[in-house]
Amino acid sequence: MAPEEIRQAIIEILEDIAPDEDLSNLDDSVSFREQMELDSMDFLDIVMELRKRYRVQVPEEDYPQLASMDSTVKYLEPKMVNVAV
């Protein structure tokens, strides 16, 4: 997956986790927490959905890497380089 595809994959996950959020104005450089009502349970779901959908493992100590869209894509890039779209 290319970075833009990873971004789209994350958007799809967020849409499922938080169906009431408007994601069209998401600022990729600002943390999810500042822009959306996401709690620790929702963050666990991002991790779990990545595992379920793309077989990507995110160890607990790496959760802080998923703070914003930019940091998430950057973190996932090497892990998802071989994942088919």
Binding residues (CB under 8 A) for another protein: these are 16-21, 37, 39, 41-42, 44-45, 48, 51-52, 60
Nearer to another protein, 53 or 74 (CB): 53
Nearest approach, Cβ of residue 3 and another protein (Å)? 26
Between 4 and 39, CB nearer to another protein: 39
Axis-axis angle for helices 40-54, 3-17 (nearest 10): 120
DSSP run (H or E) holding 32: helix 32-35
Q: How far is CA 21 from CA 8, 25, 32, 60, 61, in A?
A: 15, 10, 11, 25, 27
Residue 9 or residue 45: which is nearer to another protein going by CB? 45
